[in-house]
Amino acid sequence: MLEVKGLNAWYGESHILHGMEFEVREGEVITLLGRNGAGKTTTMKSIMGLVPRREGSIQFRGAELAGMMPHHIARHGIAFCPEERGIFGALSVTENLMLPPVVAPGGLDIAEIYTLFPNLKERARTAHGTRLSGGEQQMLAIARILRTGAKMLLLDEPTEGLAPVIVQQIGRTIHEIKNRGFTVLLVEQNFRFAQTVADRHYVVEHGRVIDMIPNHRLEASMDKLHEYLGV
């Protein structure tokens, strides 16, 4: 579904990605694991065209995305949920959910969203974005991109700073959207969480992929993983 080859990216004079290469098959949940500053978020932003300068190949369902503007990339069916979440604080939950444009058929309607996220249903009309907990904001950020009809979701650190019970809810949500046919590329530092949801893990260091670990081999690779992540 997604194939990245020889991807380089810069912020000003800073060369961040140094030949990133990986692939994501349709229906998979894939994680990018690595230390802070390894280039994981820059990879996602490069896919979405949000990095000022990038070179290499980014193919999505056979279409070359490198060089496209972000709004054209989104129309191909890729949605990005940034770590900052981007919730509109003055709007209610329902109003936030009504904002995203439809980029393709197959997006979830409001009733489906509230079935998937019962916490949001309880807060639908009474809570504005600024009054939601961190976990509720994360659920709303994910729910919002599910409305668009995009079939590939890029989730950047969805569990960062959340309580364990909310992390479990996010995990269940990722399993559910995978069962519904969505494909997920996930940036995570919490490899214990990643282990519960992902099919494969790419380890990123200094702006390139240095290893790929199938999920069923993760336990056997713990010594190597601890070394990679410096845990």
Q: How remote is the C-alpha of 59 from its chain's centroid?
A: 17
Q: What is the Cα–Cα distance from 150 to 193, expressed in whole angstroms?
A: 24
| pLDDT at 80 > cutoff 90 | yes
* Contact in structure between 94 and 141 (CB atoms under 8 Å): no
- Per the structure, the complete domain to which residue 98 belongs is given by 2-229
Q: What is the Cα–Cα distance from 79 to 76, expressed in whole angstroms?
A: 9
Residue pLDDT, tens place only, 27-63:
999 999 999 899 999 999 999 999 989 999 999 999 9
- Stretch among 4-8, 75-79, 185-189, 224-228 having the lowest mean pLDDT: 224-228
Predicted pLDDT of residue 87:
84
Count of domains for the chain? 1
Residue pLDDT, tens place only, 18-31:
999 999 999 999 99
Q: Taking each helix axis from N to C terminus, what angle separates 164-179 and 134-146, rounded to the nearest 10 degrees?
A: 10
Predicted pLDDT of residue 144:
92
Average per-residue pLDDT in the chain? 91
Question: Is 25 or 125 the better-scoring residue by pLDDT?
Answer: 25
Count CB neighbours of 216 within 10 A. Answer: 9
Predicted pLDDT of residue 103:
85
Q: What is the secondary structure of the chain as a DSSP string?
A: -EEEEEEEEEETTEEEEEEEEEEE-TT-EEEEE--TTSSHHHHHHHHTT-SSEEEEEEEETTEE-TT--HHHHHHTTEEEE-TT----TTSBHHHHHH-SPP-STT---HHHHHHH-HHHHHTTTT-BGGGS-HHHHHHHHHHHHHTTT-SEEEEESTTTT--HHHHHHHHHHHHHHHHTT-EEEEEES-HHHHHHH-SEEEEEETTEEEEEEEGGGTGGGHHHHHHHHT-
* Contact in structure between 60 and 1 (CB atoms under 8 Å): yes
Predicted pLDDT of residue 102:
85
Predicted pLDDT of residue 231:
52
Q: What CATH number is attached to the domain comprising 37?
A: 3.40.50.300
| Burial zone of 165 (CB within 10 Å; 0-12 exposed, 13-18 middle, 19+ buried) | exposed
Percent of the residues in the chain that have a pLDDT greater than 90, as a whole number: 61
Predicted pLDDT of residue 226:
86
If you average pLDDT over residues 74-86, what whole number do you get?
89
Q: What is the Cα–Cα distance from 15 to 44, expressed in whole angstroms?
A: 15
Listed residue (13, 79, 19) closest to 50, CA to CA = 79
Predicted pLDDT of residue 61:
94
Residue pLDDT, tens place only, 172-190:
999 999 999 999 999 988 8
pLDDT band at residue 146 using 50, 70 and 90 as cut-offs = very high
